[in-house]
Amino acid sequence: MKTVCTAGTPANEWIFFSISARNLTFNTGAINGIMCGQRLESFVAFWTLVFIRIVTGFAGEGRSVWKKDPHFSPVSERQVFLYDTFPKEFLWGIGTGAFQVEGSWRKDGKGSSIWDRFVHSEFRDADSTDTSSDSYTLLDKDLSALDFLGVTFYQFSISWSRLFPTGVVAAPNEKGLQYYNTLIDSLLYRNMDPVVTLYHWDLPLMLQEKYGGWKNESVIDIFNDYATFCFQTFGDRVKYWITIHNPYLVAWHGYGTGIHAPGERGEITTVYSVGHNLIKAHAKVWHNYKKQFQPYQKGMMSIVLGSHWIEPNKSEDALDISKCQQSMDRVLGWFAKPIHGDGDYPEELKNEFSFLPRFTEDEKNYIKGTADFFAFSFGPNNFKPPNTLPKMGQNLSLNLREVLNWIKLEYNSPRILIAENGWFTDSHVKTDDTTAIYMMKNFINKVLQAIKYDNIDVFGYTAWSLLDGFEWQHAYNIRRGLFYVDFKSEKKERIPKSSALYYKQIIRENGFFPRQSTPSLQAQFSCDFSWGITESVLKAESVASSPQFCDSNLYLWNITGDGLLHKVKGVKLKTRPAQCTDFVSIKKQLDLLEKMKVTHYRFALDWSLILPNGDLSVVNRQVLRYYRCVISEVLKLNVQSMVTLYYPTHAYLGLPGPLLQTGGWLNQSTAYAFQDYAALCFRELGDLVKLWITINEPNRLSDVYNRSSNDTYQAAHNLLIAHAMAWRIYDEQYRSFQYGKVSLSLHSDWAEPANPYFESHSKAANRFLQFEIGWFADPIFKTGDYPATMREYIGFKNRRGLSYSSLPSFTSEEKQLVKGAADFYALNHFTTRFVIHEPQNGSQYEFDRDIQFLQDITCLSSPSRLAVVPWGMRKVLGWIKKTYGDIDIYITANGIDDQSLDNDELRNYYLGKYVQEVLKAYYIDKVKIKGYYAFKLTEEKSKPRFGFFTSDSKGKPSIKFYNNLISNNGFPADYSVCDPSNQEKQCSFCLFVSQKKPLIFFACCLFSTLILLLTIIVFHKRKRRKRFKAKSSQCICVSF
């Protein structure tokens, strides 16, 4: 057989095929002289092979995984979390290693292993390893744990030295033999398949001392003898065998770094020599089983190969991709290519290391194909310590789906068993292993995506591990079990952790079902629904930037080469009154709003510009005029304004200087100054504004007033009083003739318990809502006082000496002032926070809540790590209705940052999904939602890209998407709820006239000039005709 490949493709590896005596050599020069029949045969063979390549892939093409699709979409259904089920025959299992959980290292005649000696010589707390989880004596408890999970198989390893204390096959240790027979029989009784590993790192100590362990080829035959005994003894009941678990770690850490037993820090040549012997040992056992036992035992055998995964710094850089390929070849390819490939080491390894042991041609043929499936390990042991991995300057990654694709392409689409997968928690974590849940959720969903989207043949999954146990070089400093074990207790009960409950659910459902979201709804909002866009503070122009029609002077520019304007003396031009469109920034705002096609525009005033002294002693009338111009010009577009009086951020508090100097919101006088400022704005602008927001997100000013919790609470108290006084002013003095509505806008993200199996997480989520939303909403919409939950929890921490915080008290007058001081609920919502209970000490607002946030790595997220959780919007809307009654609600800001300038599809996805949830809340839950305002109109430089327009006013594709949502008023079916005949029809001609006044004026002037010129021309022509006629008459008279 000869292997041939076409040239002219990347790495000359596009398609491979075999040539035999009956086949034609595929050569362009020769084809021209071949008969028609042969040409047809070659053509058919070629395209048959192409088809095979497309369906299955050929070996050696793993590097294509890193070549990213230029049309890659982060919101493609192939990339986001997949809610679906695994194939019906999919196998769910869990695994352990004998040395990690069995304990009883000197009991019932067991011999010592290399790990027994290594632990007692290298670890201080050696005594605790003697019993570990003690599975040897507590088998019934292990079986109960397996029953609880409902797995279909249990992957465990046999302790070689428990069967044969010296490692050499002789009369077996009867107690050890009885233990494994009982275990296997008990599993079969429960309809669980045993998946048995022959060697999981615990080599009998005698073999290490006498032969030097795996450095000596003699151990290969001894291992085969041991394996033969296991096949003879257990093979009638075992259908899945694993020869060796993760030989890379055996060789690299056992004989290289020395962090694993036997703890040798040898030369690199020794490491590869050990790896060479492990491969040969596996192959010998496989052939032994294949020939002597498989024909009648009908079992399958493989070797568990473990690996990391790596991503290139730049996916378009061929050198980075080559480095990634080299990294994988040095770890996974080292063992996988000989066994699952062509029987030899990767070319990169052979070229790099001249000392690498060589296989003879007979050995290559003997080794290749010695696995009935690809058993793959992907867990923390393959990533730690990171400084021992050949990263080649690239980036480690936990993307299990990607590495499965690499295996598929590199090794010709093998059947794959995930033979070890999971993560770890710190040793102090007992049953609340929340992070392990999210890691498991991510890993298993990646497997599901690989099966459904990439056609990868994964037939089973092994969670690791069943029990907490001894974790190799980490000893007992980390935990990996799904069941918690207190190693110091006598009973060593197996207590299910959150991860056990979650895994049980996945097994029961055979995958993932959407629990929060519901099917999409086809419906519309009410016909008077407000569709808006939000902008932050508008910086007012104090002087018109286009004053040419207002200034009567004539100027010449640059006459002396200084680049300045020079007034021409004695020349005066005609002027006209100042107009709002003289402000260039207003023209830009109008142009952007016209493209957005919204009905409402929310923006904020700048308090410090309007009242620079903080009081009414100095009022900047030019700034007020600017804002009035904005509102009036926007009205000409049939767009209503929602005006925010005060818009602080953590970077810019937005208070006038004098108020800042007197303590800002820590000083109650600031509340009275705000009342005066609000009254001024109501008086000057209120005839044009129907919706007011007094303060934007006062519940987020804790980021500014964070010196102590008491500062935070006092500032919040004064903000509440300020808002209430402003609302009362409007209610008593302006509402009767301005007919507007006033509220404040609260940051209202939803909180979800990160761990649904722990009541403490549910309580923490509710506590977050009370401290975040109820803090301001309860006094206004409910009781006139802070939430009882908030006061009680702070009091609880005070009594325990964990905090010295105290909430201010409302006087009876203040309660009366605050209660009911809002005409609607305005919320800014961006994401859902996953909350865990985390006790904290100290007198800070954040510490008083006793919560921490967890990032769900399975969620689609923005560049600023905002999780896209659409159903959280509906939940928070429902919670507001349930908590504060059937009140009107405006969503005053909702949006996400998207880095893309020319294809912001993440924003489109976000808008579509979130508005859909708003519609469900409106249509199904009957929440009185009056309007939706997308955030935001324009982005700011050097900040997350939330805008529909760039900072230089370039529009993004999401504008069109939002336009469609607005024009459809939601997600309509075949008919529209809003019948145009029942609506007040807009005068399109009037709108055109109002928008195009300057153009129409210019056109009228031009038309009038043309008419005048035509009139003059006609008049002169007629006059010339009359003169000509008169001269003609005189000539006739003279002739007579």
**120 and 112 Cβ atoms separated by less than 8 Å:** no
pLDDT score of 765 more than 80? yes
Spatial separation of the C-alpha atoms in residues 465 and 94, rounded to whole Å:
6
Helix (H, G, I), strand (E, B) or coil at 155: strand
Q: Which two tokens stand for residue 642?
A: 């929602």
Residue type, 484: Y
Q: Which two tokens stand for residue 235?
A: 């093979």
Phi-psi region of 927 (alpha: psi -120 to 50; beta: other; left: phi over 0): beta
- The tens digit of pLDDT for each residue in 834-890 reads 999 999 999 999 999 999 999 999 999 999 999 999 999 999 999 999 999 999 999
pLDDT at 131: 64
pLDDT at 33: 38
392: DSSP letter: T
Query: Which of 764, 789, 748 lies closest to 893, judged by CA?
Result: 748
Spatial separation of the C-alpha atoms in residues 882 and 568, rounded to whole Å:
71
pLDDT score of 751 more than 80? yes
pLDDT at 977: 61
**42 and 26 Cβ atoms separated by less than 8 Å:** yes
Helix (H, G, I), strand (E, B) or coil at 1035: helix
List 837's β-bridge partners, or say none.
851
Spatial separation of the C-alpha atoms in residues 254 and 118, rounded to whole Å:
10
Spatial separation of the C-alpha atoms in residues 378 and 511, rounded to whole Å:
20
Query: Which of 451, 459, 450, 305 lies closest to 377, judged by CA?
Result: 305
110: DSSP letter: P
Inter-residue long-range contacts of 727-730, CB under 8 Å, 24+ positions, other chains counted:
727/694, 727/821, 727/822, 727/823, 728/817, 728/821, 729/675, 729/678, 729/679, 729/682, 730/678, 730/682, 730/686, 730/692
Buried b (16+ CB within 10 A) or exposed e, 542-575: eebeeeebeeeeeeeeeeeeeeeeeeeeeeeeee
Spatial separation of the C-alpha atoms in residues 952 and 945, rounded to whole Å:
13
Going by their DSSP bridges, the two strands 153-157 and 91-95 should be labelled as parallel
Query: Across residues 685-692, what is the average pLDDT?
Result: 97
- The tens digit of pLDDT for each residue in 510-533 reads 999 987 778 899 999 999 999 999
Q: Which two tokens stand for residue 572?
A: 């005066």
Q: What angle do CA 142, 143, 147 make, to 5 degrees?
A: 120
Spatial separation of the C-alpha atoms in residues 100 and 122, rounded to whole Å:
16
The band of 1007, judged by pLDDT with boundaries at 50, 70 and 90, is confident
CB atoms within 10 A of CB 47: 10
The band of 1030, judged by pLDDT with boundaries at 50, 70 and 90, is low
List 304's β-bridge partners, or say none.
245, 375
Task: Give the sign of the dihedral formed by CA 628, CA 629, CA 632, CA 637.
Answer: negative
Query: Across residues 244-254, what is the average pLDDT?
Result: 98
- High-pLDDT (> 70) share of the chain, %: 89
**436 and 223 Cβ atoms separated by less than 8 Å:** no
Query: Across residues 786-791, what is the average pLDDT?
Result: 96
The band of 596, judged by pLDDT with boundaries at 50, 70 and 90, is very high
Going by their DSSP bridges, the two strands 495-496 and 523-524 should be labelled as unpaired
- High-pLDDT (> 90) share of the chain, %: 77
Q: What average pLDDT does the structure give for the chain?
A: 89
- The tens digit of pLDDT for each residue in 42-56 reads 444 444 444 434 433
pLDDT at 1000: 77
Query: Across residues 758-784, what is the average pLDDT?
Result: 97
The band of 734, judged by pLDDT with boundaries at 50, 70 and 90, is very high
**496 and 148 Cβ atoms separated by less than 8 Å:** yes
pLDDT score of 902 more than 70? yes
Rg (CA), the chain: 39
Question: Which positions ≥6 away from 413 have C-beta within 8 Å?
Answer: 56, 57, 456, 457
pLDDT score of 932 more than 90? yes
pLDDT at 979: 55
- The tens digit of pLDDT for each residue in 117-142 reads 999 888 876 555 566 899 999 999 99
CA distances from 1006 to 518, 999, 1009, 1010 (A): 61, 11, 5, 6
Query: Across residues 327-341, what is the average pLDDT?
Result: 97
**242 and 376 Cβ atoms separated by less than 8 Å:** no
CA distances from 881 to 316, 691, 751 (A): 50, 21, 16
pLDDT score of 226 more than 70? yes
pLDDT score of 30 more than 50? no
pLDDT at 39: 47
CA distances from 518 to 78, 202, 328, 531, 921 (A): 20, 51, 42, 24, 11
Any idea how long the chain is?
1040
pLDDT at 997: 65
Question: Which positions ≥6 away from 87 have C-beta within 8 Å?
Answer: 451
- Run of H or E residues at 401: helix 400-410
Query: Across residues 563-567, what is the average pLDDT?
Result: 81
**740 and 730 Cβ atoms separated by less than 8 Å:** yes
- The tens digit of pLDDT for each residue in 396-418 reads 999 999 999 999 999 999 999 99
Query: Across residues 90-98, what is the average pLDDT?
Result: 98
pLDDT score of 244 more than 80? yes
Helix (H, G, I), strand (E, B) or coil at 647: coil
